[in-house]
Amino acid sequence: MLMCSRGAGSTDANGRPRGGIFVDLALQAHAEPWYKDEFCKHPALLSFIAKLTGWGDDTLSLARSLLRNNTPHNKAIGVHYDQIFLRHGEDTSMTAWVPMGDIALDGGGLIYLENGHVLGREIETNFFNKAKQTGLTEEEAKDAFNKNMMSGGLLADGPKEFAEDRGLRWLVTEYEAGDVVLHTPYTIHASTINKDPKNIIRLGTDLRFVNSSRPYDKRWTNVYSFGDGV
């Protein structure tokens, strides 16, 4: 239930996020059977992905998921697209973002950039062209934390300026428990700051699916742990 897999605020002397028992339980939740075996691999969702993509029996639910919270008035998730963090495989993965509970418009849910899937692909192409020009090795170019990326692999910290600079809009909606949002590896998204007047913590998770018959990022076959380098 970390705020973001690429940083949960300040860290202690051992590099772990501060937060005491809250952070410890949040990390532990990723490996709980009810979550990793029952929720993340729910047969209804797995079956739907298999039919939608045409992957059939080759559909694989990756073990590494991101169970996140968005606490009121805390830092939002920055602008990004998922392929940045899945570059050790083909760009054919599918993400299912699942809000775990109702999320009001001001509750800090995910927002999506209009035509962001097109812009994301363009940005990735330009990135690899720049990587060649600056002499990055293939392995360095795959790393979301390389010298040509922003801190944490993000495209921007704040969504407002990112969209305005490109003359695009952010698409925003409220969510209900049971909703699932599917997006491609290049779909640009972020979150807003949770300003829920009742101080409700927004909880959601990122589940990722791949075609196991094609090359995919094997680093995502292990349950998430802090500092796993992805």
**What is the chain's pLDDT, residue by residue, as a tens digit (230 residues)?**
333 333 334 444 444 555 578 778 888 999 999 999 999 999 999 999 999 999 999 999 999 999 888 889 988 889 999 999 999 999 999 999 999 999 999 999 999 999 999 999 999 999 999 999 999 999 999 998 888 888 788 999 889 999 999 999 999 999 999 999 999 999 999 999 999 999 998 999 999 999 999 999 999 999 998 888 78
Give the separation between CA 74 and CA 164, rounded to whole angstroms. Answer: 23
Give the separation between CA 193 and CA 191, rounded to whole angstroms. Answer: 7
pTM: 0.88
CATH number (domain holding residue 79)? 2.60.120.620
> For residue 62, which amino acid is it?
L
Within a domain: residue 64? no
Contact between 4 and 77 (Cβ < 8 Å) = yes
Within a domain: residue 24? no
Within a domain: residue 152? yes
Within a domain: residue 33? no
Within a domain: residue 81? yes
- pLDDT at position 24 is 84
Number of domains in the chain: 1
Give the range of the structural domain holding residue 134, as residue numbers without chain letter: 71-217
Within a domain: residue 52? no
Within a domain: residue 94? yes
Give the separation between CA 29 and CA 227, rounded to whole angstroms. Answer: 16
Within a domain: residue 75? yes
Task: Provide CB contacts within 8 A for 121, sequence distance 6+.
Answer: 186
- pLDDT at position 19 is 59
Task: Provide CB contacts within 8 A for 101, sequence distance 6+.
Answer: 177, 200, 202, 203
- pLDDT at position 214 is 97
CA distances from 184 to 20, 32, 43, 93, 94 (A): 35, 27, 21, 7, 5
